């Protein structure tokens, strides 16, 4: 299941529990500023921000929860808290496993024959 599908499932579970609307947002932004005056740079600055947030709307109430970082675990934790703040249990929001490699996968040792066959003797 793709990350988008997992996030969609989590959002659907909050709506199925009684929310009128729910969304997640992930933001990474950077800014660069240069102040050039009379032929010289007077000031150079840059910044980077990243964060994740969730919004749950239920009736007239809206709950916003945000946190630093942009990983899926933090996003779904925000969604769970926003659901709870809206009077929903949030228990249906499960943090999915996003393993890149299965635990039982073993890596094979490299084949060193390539190096033995292509060694050039330098005298």
Say what angle helices 72-85 and 3-17 make with each other, to 10 degrees: 10
Reading the chain (123 residues) residue by residue, the pLDDT tens digits are: 777 888 888 899 999 999 999 999 998 888 888 888 888 888 888 888 889 999 999 999 999 999 998 888 888 899 999 999 999 987 666 655 554 334 555 556 656 565 555 555 544
Q: Where are any strands of DSSP class E within the chain?
A: 21-37, 40-58, 61-68
Q: What is the DSSP letter of 69?
A: S
Region at 18 (left for phi over 0; alpha for psi -120 to 50; beta for the rest): left
CATH 3.10.20.30 fits 3-99, yes or no: no
Closest by alpha carbon to 80, among 8, 22, 2, 27? Answer: 22
Q: What pLDDT score does 100 carry?
A: 35
Q: What is the DSSP letter of 38?
A: T
Please state whether the predicted TM-score (pTM) of the whole model is above 0.85. Answer: no
Identify the burial level of 85 via C-beta atoms within 10 angstroms of its C-beta, where 0-12 means exposed, 13-18 middle and 19 or more buried: middle
Tokens of 33: 């500023």
Task: Quickly count: other Cβ atoms within 10 Å of residue 35's Cβ.
Answer: 10
Sheet holding 61-68, edge to edge: 21-37, 40-58, 61-68
């Amino acid at each position: 299941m793709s990350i988008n599908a997992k996030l969609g499932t989590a959002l659907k579970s909050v709506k199925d529990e009684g929310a009128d609307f729910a969304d997640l947002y992930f933001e990474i932004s950077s800014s660069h500023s240069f102040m050039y005056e009379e032929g010289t740079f007077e000031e150079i600055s840059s910044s980077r921000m990243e964060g994740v947030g969730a919004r749950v709307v239920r009736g007239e109430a809206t709950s916003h929860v945000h946190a630093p970082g942009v990983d899926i675990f933090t996003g779904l934790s925000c969604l769970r808290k926003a659901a709870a703040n809206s009077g929903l249990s949030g228990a249906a929001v499960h943090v999915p496993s996003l393993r890149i490699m299965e635990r039982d996968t073993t890596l094979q040792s490299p084949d060193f024959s390539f190096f033995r066959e292509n060694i050039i003797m330098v005298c």
